[in-house]
Amino acid sequence: MSEAKQPSTTKSLVEAGTETARISQLAAGLMMRLARRWELPDIDPLNLKRPLLAATWNTVRHPQRILAAQWDLTRRYLGLMKYLGLRTVGRPVEPVAVPAKGDRRFRSDAWDERLIFDLLRQTYLLTADWMLDNVARMQEVSAEDRMRIRFYTRQFADALSPSNFILTNPEVLKTTREEKGVNLLRGMRMLLEDLHNGDGQLLISMTDKNAFEVGGNIATTEGSVVFENEMMQLIQYAPRTKTAYTRPLLIVPPWINKFYILDLKPENSFIRYAVDRGYTVFVISWVNPDEKLRYKRFEDYMHEGILTALDAIEQATNQRQVNTIGYCIGGTLLAATLAWMKAHGDDRIPSATFFTTQVDFSEAGELRVFIDDKQLKNLEKKMKVQGYLDGESMAMTFNMLRANDLIWTFVVNNYLLGRKPPHFDLLYWNSDFTRLPESMHTYYLRKMYLENRLVEPGGIEMDGTPIDLTTVDLPIYIQSSRDDHIAPYRSVYKATQLFSGDTTFMLAGSGHIAGVINPPAANKYGYWTNNELPVDVEEWIDGAEGHQGSWWPHWDQWLKQHSGRRIQARTPGDGGLDVIEPAPGRYVKG
């Protein structure tokens, strides 16, 4: 028996020695980096002191609420004790607390097989629910303070999940026994590598970055860069049909991320889908700005982005009018641009589609937790040092909105189980960070998120022109996603009450990304439509008709009505613009 185990034991010892040596080297280098960049932190960078004091004072003034909360928790625990007694004697019984649908933390069967782990899971779930319920019942605390307290209470509860610790996660314990602890050494090494790659900031590896290459196995739809300036490259995609619609289509993606979310793989590429439908597709590929572009304004993204792209498309196709799509902040820019163009009598855009776009930020969701005057001043101070906001900071903010899926799942997989993250194109894109120039980002967060000025007629000006979204009277198609945590559908829907033209609102299943990237072949999620546009979005939902599968064909049917007749398909370089380089171009790789 001992001889049979010898090779395995020797292999484990060798691997343990190798990992220990690599850990020592990484730790030494990391300590030197941290020593060079250490500085005294702000004692309240999240501006939590005021809302927490308000909540504490509210609780102290009403001791009966403390007693009610204590009884509520006791009642829940009594239910758990009853469950324990019945299960101990072998009687069938329903659990007191179960994970929410889609909660992957407790998906392993090991949580059910041993009573102790089942109890740990249920105790945690009912306690976490109790904590969040108490926050929701807070009185005499503003809705914004309550949202901030709830957000960080959830972060605290998520961090305390028994799935996140070695001794309370049965899957980790089993793996540790089988691998004689080498999984934990691998995990420590991977943790130090992530800290090293983030220069002391933890950048959790979500996928194997070596498995993907932009332009190699993602972002592969055939096309060419036909124009560029310091702000963007303009890509024209090669036709895949003999004929194409007269009016070209310009896609304005967000500059918070890179455009190839719309062109990950052929089977889920929205860009390829549009080209296959006979549209001459152009896409703006924004530059990843550095300190040289720190003074670029929101207006500069309009002038050097959208308006310059329209000029270039006319040169390339000899077509003056161009249909448009704006995605997320790209859509916010497009909406403001449409109002600016209306004020200047510019009718080059005959229709606009918006993906997950907010223009009224009064119900902008949990991102508002990070945006108040104090936090913005801290952010502005940070950006003044380097001239931009680094992409890692933005990524952590978005990941915190879905901490269980985008933080803790990988902490357990990488650092406790010692496993490499999976090959996943979407997560590669999510980790391909972009920077945001100081002037633009400060303006956007203050004027849009904090002050909500875009929704007011004349609330903002762009190069001296008052912006009034109510003057936008062209056909509009608005896509939103039911589970979107970045641009909540309640916020997106508000645009239907602003634009003056014929507006179509469509609600897709899933979230901010999967709700958009939902190809027909996948036959997933579904969507809802309603020809009426009442003020209340819940009333819209009540009267909506559900549909199976992807919403892309529904959009295609809408857009073709605004795209003109079919002509011979256009090839990049055949018009008035020469080919600069093959798609996806240099900028997206920067």
- Summarize pLDDT for 156-166 with one digit per residue, the tens: 999 999 999 99
What pLDDT shows up at residue 196? 85
Coil vs helix vs strand at 565: coil
Distance CA 556, CA 273 (A): 10
Q: From residue 285, how far is each of 118, 358, 497 by CA, in Å?
A: 49, 21, 31
Cis omega (within 30 of 0) for bond into 520? no
Q: What is the pLDDT at residue 280?
A: 98
DSSP character string of 57-108: HHHHH-HHHHHHHHHHHHHHHHHHHHHHHHHHTT-----S--PPTT--TT-S
Query: Which secondary-structure segment (H or E) carries 436?
Result: strand 436-437
- Give me the helices (H) in 238-307, please: 270-276, 298-301
Q: What is the DSSP letter of 345?
A: T
User: In this structure, which amino acid lies at residue 188?
Assistant: M
CA dihedral 204, 208, 213, 217 (to 10 degrees): -130
Q: With contact defined as beta carbons under 8 Å apart, do 284 and 232 qualify?
A: yes
Query: How far is the C-alpha of 19 from the C-alpha of 362, rounded, in Å?
Result: 51
500 in helix, strand or coil?
A: coil
Residue length of the chain: 590
Where would I find the beta strands (DSSP E) of 396-514?
Answer: 436-437, 461-462, 465-466, 476-481, 503-508
Helices (H), 318-471: 329-343, 373-386, 391-401, 403, 409-410, 425-430, 438-443
Residue-level pLDDT at 26: 58
Convert the pLDDT of each residue in 50-91 to its tens digit: 788 877 777 777 788 888 889 999 999 999 999 999 988 888
Tokens of 527: 């969507």
- pLDDT (tens digit per residue) in 146-198: 888 999 999 999 999 999 999 999 999 999 999 999 999 999 999 999 888 87
Contact 248, 319 (CB under 8 A): yes
**DSSP symbol at 471:** G
Q: Which two three-digit tokens encode residue 567? A: 């002509």
- CA 576, 580, 584, 590 torsion-angle sign: negative
8-state DSSP, 459:
S
> Scanning the structure block, which residue is given the tokens 């496993």?
419
Q: Determine the Cα–Cα distance for residues 441 and 435; give it in Å rounded to an integer.
A: 10
- Return the percent helix, strand and coil in the chain, to nearest 5: 50, 10, 35
The predicted structure's pLDDT at residue 101: 85
Q: Which residues of 274-294 are buried (b: 16+ CB within 10 A; e: fewer)?
A: bbebbbbbbbbbbbbbeeebb
Q: What is the mean pLDDT of each run of 10 residues along the chain (590 residues)?
A: 50 60 57 48 67 78 84 94 91 91 89 92 95 86 86 93 95 95 94 85 87 95 98 98 98 96 96 98 97 96 98 97 98 98 98 98 90 89 92 84 89 95 91 94 95 96 97 98 95 97 97 95 94 97 97 98 97 96 96
**SS3 call for 502:** coil
The residue among 258, 494, 347 whose CA lies nearest residue 337 is 347
| Contact call for residues 551 and 527 (beta carbons, < 8 A) | yes
As given in the structure block, the two tokens for residue 218 are 């993602």
Instruction: Provide the Cα torsion 319, 320, 323, 325; round to 10°.
Output: 110
Domain with CATH 3.40.50.1820 in the chain: 223-371+433-589
Give the DSSP letter string of 113-125.
HSHHHHHHHHHHH
First-to-last C-alpha distance (Å) of the chain: 56
Concatenating the DSSP letter of every residue in 540-559 gives HHHTPEEE-S-SHHHHHHHH
328 is catalytic: yes
Q: Which of 126, 161, 155, 196 is nearest to 46 (CA)?
A: 155
User: What span, in angstroms and rounded, lies between the C-alpha atoms of 250 and 284?
Assistant: 8
Q: Which of 232, 242, 238 is nearest to 263 (CA)?
A: 238
Give the integer Cα–Cα distance in Å for 467 and 456: 8
Find the catalytic residue in 244, 328, 412, 472. 328
Which residues have a Cβ under 8 Å from the Cβ of 180 and sit 6 or more positions away?
Answer: 9, 12, 16
**223-371+433-589 has which CATH code?**
3.40.50.1820
pLDDT score, position 365: 87
CA-to-CA separations, 280 to 164, 441, 583, in angstroms, rounded: 49, 32, 15
CA separation for the pair 374, 352 (Å, rounded): 36
Six-digit token string for 336: 């403001």
